[in-house]
Amino acid sequence: MRALNALLTVAAALALPVLVAGEGAARRPNILYIMSDDHAAHAISAYGSVINKTPNIDRLATQGMRFNHCYVTNSICTPSRAAIITGKYSHINGVPVFNRFDGSQPTLAKYLQAAGYHTGMIGKWHLGSDPTGFDYWNILPGQGVYHDPGFIEMGQRNKHTGYVTDLIADFSIEFIKNRPKDKPFFLMCHNKAPHRPWDPDDKHAKMYDDVELPEPATFNDDYATRCPAATEATMTIDRHLTRRDLKYSPPGEDKGPARKGGGIVDLTMTVTGKDGKEVKLTGEALKKWKYQKYIKDYLRCIASVDDNVGRLLDYLDKEGLAENTMVIYTSDQGFFLGDHTWFDKRFMYEESLKMPFLVRYPPLIKSGSTSDGMILNVDFAPTLLDLAGEKVPADMQGRSFLPLLKGETPKDWRTSMYYRYYHYPQDHRVQPHYGVRTLTHKLIYFNKLDQWELYDLEKDPHELKNVYGDPANADLVKQLKEEMYRLKKELKDEDQFQDKQPAAGV
């Protein structure tokens, strides 16, 4: 120790960089990247959830850093995954909708593999093509199923018994256990949960049975000041959740998750009340009942995710890997939890735009810290390459937020972000749109409708009042439009995919 101190003193005097254990190429960090599907930040207690507790996911916040402004650039599963592994927007990586990812292009996994990492991908991949750049992969076919799922392991289809979230953690632990010990590892551990159709495991099936969960503040949004896009969207709690979603079978029909006509939407339902008697529900009462059913199953799926995050963290602790492993927890986008009367995502509104992002890496990140720096899903790849000591490829559109992890915000850090959504009309008739979000405002352009919306996020955090038409905002609108078109140009969005429609069968 004395010798090391002497070396540090000399190095400091000469202003020389010194590599000590845990730093530099000799001991690059392992990376455990845990991503769930459709897990909104407001269903994580570290983000102030009022409807559930996630004690294990929260460990990453108490032992690491919570980002308060992490945003997706195109809020839907497949495009977000493509953006994450390429560090590029949809119009550059070629995946604006549910189309097949061209796996021949450079990716984060390929760069890390070339840099000497042992790379793995386990769970929901959902990019159509087989994973590339991974030494090991074991993925769900397409969306996958919750119970007794099939997996494709390095091209080989296998059937498994058990619950999908448990199996993904099992396989992830096996991957870490079996890794070559002379290399750092990079593992993408991707949950299917809590994606539709929200099938919980037996352990959590009765969780929340005895409680009434609060409805969100915007549960009865009437879209009064919005353009017609909100009204057109087919993802409302009351009119679009199906029998399959609600695990509902009318009296006299087969029990189970609505075996007959699972896609049917009921506007009158006969359900069992708290007193055990059947009651016929419609209108407002039925909407409330559907919300409780939907949100409880969604949160039950998350409870299993949280348990399994705990298993993974415990495994790292037990193996002495916690110190030298960066652990990330995020989701491919946000989700509406009854907000604005919706389930699903897609819109640029906050609940869907915001991604949870919690990260722990003790050598670099102060425990219990938070960052208000605006980060995007296209930043993940540059950041992890930077962390690994690799040069960030010039064609990546994201930027490394390694300085933010150290608690430093560069003076020129972004104060606005560009968003673009394409997928229409499947599956929920959400109109294509693009827009800009700054630290205080959001401007959205529904390009097929030629309609605009403007929200003041400080005065109106729930985005209930579109103030685009207010003459007092004329200057503001002009500035935001300039910023939006500046970003659009800088990111080389030349509307090359504006007419791209979802391909069938992916």
Tell me which residues in 58-87 interact with Ca ion (CB under 5 A).
Answer: 77
- When the beta carbons of 79 and 373 are compared against Ca ion, the nearer one is 79
Q: What is the DSSP letter of 180?
A: -
Does position 332 bind Ca ion by CB under 5 A? yes
- When the beta carbons of 37 and 350 are compared against Ca ion, the nearer one is 37
- When the beta carbons of 81 and 226 are compared against Ca ion, the nearer one is 81
Stretch that binds Ca ion, among 169-177, 264-272, 324-332, 484-492 (CB under 5 A): 324-332
Q: Least Å distance between CB 437 and Ca ion?
A: 19
Q: Least Å distance between CB 36 and Ca ion?
A: 8
Measure the N-to-C terminal CA separation of the chain; round to a whole number of Å: 58
SS3 readout for 319-375: CCCCCCEEEEEEECCCCCCCHHHECCCCCCCHHHHEECEEEECCCCCCCCEEECCCE
Burial environment of residue 122 by CB neighbours within 10 A (0 to 12, 13 to 18, 19 or more): buried
Burial environment of residue 9 by CB neighbours within 10 A (0 to 12, 13 to 18, 19 or more): exposed
Stretch that binds Ca ion, among 34-42, 126-134, 317-325, 366-374 (CB under 5 A): 34-42
Q: Least Å distance between CB 164 and Ca ion?
A: 15
In the chain, how many H helices and how many E strands?
14, 19
- When the beta carbons of 144 and 373 are compared against Ca ion, the nearer one is 144
In whole angstroms, what is the distance from residue 21 CA to residue 425 CA? 54
Does position 169 bind Ca ion by CB under 5 A? no
Under rule CB under 5 A, how many of the chain's residues touch Ca ion?
Answer: 4
> In one letter, which amino acid is 208?
Y
Q: What is the DSSP letter of 101?
A: P
Does position 351 bind Ca ion by CB under 5 A? no
- When the beta carbons of 309 and 388 are compared against Ca ion, the nearer one is 309
Cis peptide before 403 (omega within 30 of 0): no
Q: Determine how many CB atoms are found less than 10 A away from the CB of residue 220.
A: 12
Select the residue interacting with Ca ion from 30, 38, 99, 445 (CB under 5 A): 38
Q: What is the DSSP string of 103-132?
A: TTS--HHHHHHHTT-EEEEEEE--SSSPP-
Point out the residue whose Cβ comes nearest to Ca ion.
77
Alpha carbon 111 to chain centroid distance? 22
9's enclosing H/E stretch is helix 2-14
Stretch that binds Ca ion, among 96-104, 284-292, 325-333, 464-472 (CB under 5 A): 325-333
Stretch that binds Ca ion, among 55-63, 142-150, 265-273, 326-334 (CB under 5 A): 326-334
Q: Least Å distance between CB 74 and Ca ion?
A: 11
Q: Least Å distance between CB 100 and Ca ion?
A: 17
- When the beta carbons of 37 and 386 are compared against Ca ion, the nearer one is 37
Tell me which residues in 464-483 interact with Ca ion (CB under 5 A).
Answer: none
Q: Least Å distance between CB 345 and Ca ion?
A: 7
- When the beta carbons of 309 and 385 are compared against Ca ion, the nearer one is 309
Helix axes 283-318, 164-177, angle to 10 degrees: 20
- When the beta carbons of 30 and 330 are compared against Ca ion, the nearer one is 330
Does position 37 bind Ca ion by CB under 5 A? yes
Does position 339 bind Ca ion by CB under 5 A? no
**Residue that is written with structure tokens 């294990």 in the block:** 56
- When the beta carbons of 287 and 340 are compared against Ca ion, the nearer one is 340
- When the beta carbons of 74 and 416 are compared against Ca ion, the nearer one is 74
Burial environment of residue 504 by CB neighbours within 10 A (0 to 12, 13 to 18, 19 or more): exposed
Question: Which residues contact Ca ion by CB under 5 A?
Answer: 37-38, 77, 332
